[in-house]
Chains A and B, each alone.
Chain A
Amino acid sequence: MALSFTRIFDNDWVGPGLVSLAAIIGISIFQPSFLSPFNIFVLLSAISVNMVIALGQLVIIAIGQMNLALGAFGGLVAICFVAIMELYGVPPILATVIGLAIGALAGGLTGFVIARTGISAFIITLAGLQIFKGINLGITEAQPFYGVPQSVKDFGNLSMLGPIPWLVLPMIIASLGMWYLFARLRIGRYILAIGGNRTAAELSGINVTATIIWAHAISGLLAAIAGMMLVARLQIGQPTIGDDWLISSFAAPVIGGAVLAGGHVSVAGTFFGVVIIAIITQALVLFAIDPFVVQIVLGGLILWAVGINRLRELRVAKFNARTA
């Protein structure tokens, strides 16, 4: 009994899931409007976009690296997406495909440089952040594009069913895709293996270079999806899209139990990490607390989650030592 109880709590998503549930119940007692259909709609829209962003970082954390350029990818794709629709009249479906291609290409290129040179992902993606952001601002001169077609605006602001926005759709597809990737696909297993122990992975015949390029291309693809979702939601092509992704893209996976050294991630845990962040951000607004506090809370959440993960690691180590 005691053992199965511990087992349940060893699942990455249980802790964050319980915290989310408690937060929803707690806040709705004090503030019944929290569960109004409109508020749920707003909350789900925010969760959808942030989940895709977090997944973009998750796949890089899984391989034991970090991607500072995630927001720059998203911003560049968002701008190109609107620009080709406005300037060349490209239909939205085709523009979406082109946007996805740009994202995957930018990510793949970054991955290629990291894999081939062996230089730390931190410094390469820092350079990438600057390059892609510079191209973004060079194209737009910091002015937004306004020519977003009505169909794209509708996708970002209409509901699919009751309080459920259409934006949930890409989030669900991306989440299921990533879960399938890590649980069933060979490339996902390779990514986790390299994150867990790169040398061992290399010795067992995994093509490390190709896998790193794949991981970064997937990250770029997810950033592209998130960037275009934001265009649909904001209804304009803002050059500032992606500027504030860095902190939250790390916070959600870490709250969801991802090990930063790589090799261990949880898609479900990340989802609840995103939910917790969204609820807290919303609660601060509902209770009319200074919006600047959000930054402090986000930083605090990361530290808290890192501490919890660390404790769990130590507990597992102790347990293993006892049973061995």
Chain B
Amino acid sequence: MTDTLHATDNFMPEQRRGSAVMRLALSNELGLAVLIAIAFGAFAITLPGFTSPFSLFTIGRQIGIDTMIGLAMMAVIVTGGLDLSVGAIGVCAAMVFGFLAQKMGIPLPLAAPGAILFGAVLGFINGYTVVRSGVHSFIITLASMSIFFGVMIFLTQAQSFNELPASVQALGKLRVGGMVSVLLLITLAVCAALSIFYRYTVLGRQMLAAGANPRAAELSGIRTGRVIISCHMLTGALAAFAGLMLTARTGAAVPSMAGHLGQDWLLPAFLAPVLGGTLLSGGRVSVVGTLLGATFVTIMTSGLLLMRVGEFWILACLGLMLLLAVLADRFRQQVLRARGMI
């Protein structure tokens, strides 16, 4: 029963009851935007240097990277699954990029798409295994994160590629108008493309339908297996993209850039979409919400760092933030249900 209602929620929003204003007021996006404005205002007033061009540039760059990581996870959460291997895929793709650009001397315009394609291939391996085995993506990607990372460390012998062409690092340092990172602009472009993709393309709509109610989608002629595999491929490609952006920031492809097995990406990967209102049960995405979620997290982290809160305590704060985000989401759904809006 809830499943059917849930599916209509995505495709026929005009049938929902309740005023548009009320819906907007209870949406994640508006709430987040207000929180961002408050946090940014408070830090800007109390912390000198928070709004300096360089500070804004680094914050923007971080937002760009964290949003991309969040989008990568969002693309697979749509199916009601998840991908623990995003970090491993991101690092693997970055290392492939390093190998192509540094060792093989392949020009960057070819090496970068090659690395992203490689990420999509790793995503395909995940998706194919999940669909064919029928085992939950948690355990499959737990295994594949270990395998991808293990193979990468074995092949690279944990050595980084740090003699990349100078233009890679230059891209990471490039500013538009003195304070806007090019990486942020790239992410915004990807956000726009993804919004169009989920809203107007057949495959994008199929992904949402298959996530909301796989049986209904199957019955209406969608080949859910293929759609789920393409979700995993999209996740792989976006994770690879994030890996490349991180490479541009550091100017080198480093095997440890996402921590042991790529685990360090897990929190930003889930935090941004969950804050932004993507349902973990699948079927609903919010690209703008993910962008706002990553923005909020980055502003809080930068502000707390400037306030000299130890970086380790910030880790604990981020965990707490994830907890509060899901609790708030639960509360919001209860309110909406009580008012008959879902």
Taking beta carbons and an 8 Å cutoff, which residues of A are in contact with B? 66, 113, 117-120, 122-124, 126-135, 137-138, 141-142, 243-244, 246-247, 250, 254, 260-261, 290, 292-300, 302-303, 306-307, 310
B131 partner residues in chain A, CB cutoff 8 A: none
B146 partner residues in chain A, CB cutoff 8 A: 247, 295-296, 298-299, 302
Contact B153 A243 (CB under 8 A): no
With known contacts A123-B322, A129-B319, A292-B153, A302–B142 Cβ distance under 8 A: yes
Chain A residue, CB-CB nearest to B280: A120
Distance in angstroms from B196 CB to nearest chain A CB is 29
With known contacts A127-B323, A296-B147, A138–B312 Cβ distance under 8 A: yes
Contact A131 B319 (CB under 8 A): yes
B306 partner residues in chain A, CB cutoff 8 A: none
Contact B133 A306 (CB under 8 A): yes
Contact A137 B323 (CB under 8 A): no
B198 partner residues in chain A, CB cutoff 8 A: none
Most chain A beta-carbon contacts within 10 A, residue among B142, B270, B310, B314 = B142
Which one of A66, A134, A292, A303 lies within 8 Å of B313 (CB-CB)? A134
What are 27 A-B residue pairs whose CB atoms fall within 8 Å in the complex?
A: A117-B327, A117-B330, A119-B330, A122-B138, A126-B267, A130-B315, A130-B322, A131-B323, A133-B316, A134-B314, A134-B317, A135-B316, A137-B312, A138-B312, A141-B312, A142-B312, A246-B263, A250-B142, A290-B154, A292-B157, A294-B150, A296-B154, A297-B150, A299-B143, A303-B143, A310-B133, A310-B135
B267 partner residues in chain A, CB cutoff 8 A: 126, 130
Which one of B139, B274, B310, B314 lies within 8 Å of A123 (CB-CB)? B274
Task: Name B's interface SS.
Answer: helix
Contact flags (1/0) for B120-141 with A, using CB distance below 8 Å?
0000000001000111101110
Which one of B150, B317, B323 lies within 8 Å of A293 (CB-CB)? B150
With known contacts A138-B310, A247-B142, A299–B150 Cβ distance under 8 A: yes
Contact B260 A243 (CB under 8 A): yes
Having A133-B319, A142-B312, one finds 11 other A-B pairs with CB under 8 Å, namely A127-B326, A129-B319, A130-B267, A135-B316, A138-B316, A254-B139, A295-B150, A296-B151, A299-B144, A310-B133, A310-B134
Q: What are the nearest 3 A-B pairs in CB distance?
A: A134-B316, A130-B319, A295-B150
Contact B280 A299 (CB under 8 A): no
Contact B158 A66 (CB under 8 A): no
Contact flags (1/0) for B255-274 with A, using CB distance below 8 Å?
00000110100110010001
Chain B residue, CB-CB nearest to A297: B150
Q: How far is the CA of A243 from the CA of B315 in the complex (A)?
A: 15
With known contacts A137-B312, A141-B310, A260-B136, A127–B319 Cβ distance under 8 A: yes
Contact B149 A295 (CB under 8 A): yes
Most chain B beta-carbon contacts within 10 A, residue among A247, A292, A295, A307 = A295
Q: Which B144-164 residues have C-beta < 8 A from chain A?
A: 144-147, 149-151, 153-154, 157-158
A123 partner residues in chain B, CB cutoff 8 A: 270, 274, 280, 322, 326
Contact B145 A299 (CB under 8 A): yes
Contact B323 A302 (CB under 8 A): no
B320 partner residues in chain A, CB cutoff 8 A: 127, 131
Contact A128 B147 (CB under 8 A): no
Contact A133 B315 (CB under 8 A): yes
A130 partner residues in chain B, CB cutoff 8 A: 267, 315-316, 318-319, 322
A290 partner residues in chain B, CB cutoff 8 A: 154
Contact B150 A296 (CB under 8 A): yes
Asked if B245 lies at the interface with its beta carbon under 8 angstroms from chain A, I say: no
Contact A124 B144 (CB under 8 A): no
Q: How far is the CA of A307 from the CA of B157 in the complex (A)?
A: 30
Chain A residue, CB-CB nearest to B315: A134
With known contacts A134-B317, A243-B260, A295-B261, A126–B154 Cβ distance under 8 A: no
B260 partner residues in chain A, CB cutoff 8 A: 243-244
Q: How far is the CA of A111 from the CA of B327 in the complex (A)?
A: 15
A124 partner residues in chain B, CB cutoff 8 A: 323, 326
Contact A134 B312 (CB under 8 A): yes
Q: How far is the CA of A303 from the CA of B146 in the complex (A)?
A: 11
Q: Which B301-342 residues have C-beta < 8 A from chain A?
A: 310, 312-320, 322-323, 326-327, 330
Distance in angstroms from B312 CB to nearest chain A CB is 4
Contact A260 B135 (CB under 8 A): yes
With known contacts A123-B326, A302-B143, A310-B135, A137–B261 Cβ distance under 8 A: no
Asked if B209 lies at the interface with its beta carbon under 8 angstroms from chain A, I say: no
Chain A residue, CB-CB nearest to B147: A299
Contact A117 B326 (CB under 8 A): yes
Chain A residue, CB-CB nearest to B329: A119
Asked if B254 lies at the interface with its beta carbon under 8 angstroms from chain A, I say: no
Asked if B237 lies at the interface with its beta carbon under 8 angstroms from chain A, I say: no
Asked if B74 lies at the interface with its beta carbon under 8 angstroms from chain A, I say: no
Contact A292 B319 (CB under 8 A): no
Which one of A113, A142, A302 lies within 8 Å of B139 (CB-CB)? A302
A310 partner residues in chain B, CB cutoff 8 A: 133-135
B312 partner residues in chain A, CB cutoff 8 A: 134, 137-138, 141-142
Most chain A beta-carbon contacts within 10 A, residue among B150, B266, B317, B318 = B150
Most chain A beta-carbon contacts within 10 A, residue among B134, B139, B310 = B139
B139 partner residues in chain A, CB cutoff 8 A: 250, 254, 260, 302, 306
Contact B319 A247 (CB under 8 A): no
A244 partner residues in chain B, CB cutoff 8 A: 260
Contact B138 A66 (CB under 8 A): yes
Chain B residue, CB-CB nearest to A307: B133
Contact B261 A247 (CB under 8 A): yes
Q: How far is the CA of A150 from the CA of B134 in the complex (A)?
A: 51
Asked if B208 lies at the interface with its beta carbon under 8 angstroms from chain A, I say: no
Distance in angstroms from A110 CB to nearest chain B CB is 10
Chain A residue, CB-CB nearest to B146: A299
